Amino acid sequence: MSQMLPMCPRSRAAAAINNQEIRVSGQRKRPGYRVKKGDRVFGEIRLEQDEKILEPDSQPLDVVHSDSHIILVNKPAGLVVHPGAGHGDNTLVNRLIHHFPDLDQVGTDPTRPGIVHRLDKDTSGLILVARTRHSLEFLQKEFKYHRVKKTYLALVSGRDLAGTGEVDRPVGRHPTHRKRMCVNVDTGRHARTGWQVLQRFDNACLVSVQLYTGRTHQIRVHFYDMDSPLLGDRTYQFRRNRTGRQAYPRHMLHAWQIEFNHPYSGQKFRFVVDPPKDFIRVAASLAHRVSDDSQKVWEQLISGRPV
């Protein structure tokens, strides 16, 4: 690509491929992939002179932990992680570069400084950010080799889900819906999800979810495929249930816990953040405990004790 586009730096081409802006015959390839006869390469690379300078955003940031190497943030639901199509500003990255100005020099993609993993816009919870180039490279490898442990909380439809279980089914782009993913045994990538039921309600469950791989929409797709879509999910929901989806403010998914090795000290870190009030209120309503103290109800729910 660098030979075909002499104005494009190699690092920019690699970043575009890593970010899935460039595809080979419809598939994501590594930057070192050698193009074969018959391959069709398509996409778009934005060169520096065409890129919008990120504007710092002074809105509050819920920083769970920070040191000279990493930042750990509790992302609110409704906030996009980084700029992209339709989201030029008002993202987590805009807030990060205001509160941590040195961050804009980390990484090869100026729209994603320090970003090593993502959460969907309407998913709340913990997101880890690298603060130096060394930390970025270290954490990228940790995620690549699945050494970062991420646990989520979800409220899912139905009460008949097995108490514990695991689904190992490939996830890829939906063949006809551009913004959706699906279980795709032909072109999907390996995706593995485990779960444990913490509480059963009349027609829903509170589950903790272990994410072993990190595919786009993986948890949402896997539970939809098991006939237990997330409550409030506007994308992965059975047609018969879509009329009642407005009862929930968003899809009920929260990045609850994260465990990782510190990029400098090697120390094992573990952080936990409770879900926001909207998640707790929905869980309390499912338990018919709306009028009670929501925090006490939540502590009882998460303990696994009957409510």
Residues that are catalytic: 120
Given a contact cutoff of 8 angstroms between Cβ atoms, the answer to whether 21 and 44 are in contact is yes
Given a contact cutoff of 8 angstroms between Cβ atoms, the answer to whether 282 and 156 are in contact is no
- Rounded to the nearest angstrom, the gap between the alpha carbon of residue 67 and the centroid of all alpha carbons in its chain is 23
From the number of C-beta atoms within 10 Å of its C-beta (0-12, 13-18, 19+), residue 140 rates as middle
Residue 185 to residue 188: CA distance in whole angstroms = 6
Given a contact cutoff of 8 angstroms between Cβ atoms, the answer to whether 114 and 130 are in contact is yes
Would you say how long the chain is, in residues? 307
Closest CA to 105 of 113, 95, 115, 117: 113
The CB density around residue 33, as the number of other CB atoms within 10 Å, is 14
Closest CA to 274 of 95, 91, 151, 149: 151
Q: What is the CA radius of gyration of the chain?
A: 20
Beta-strand runs (E) in the chain:
22-24, 41-43, 63-66, 70-75, 124-130, 149-157, 164-168, 171-173, 181-183, 192-200, 204-211, 253-261, 268-272
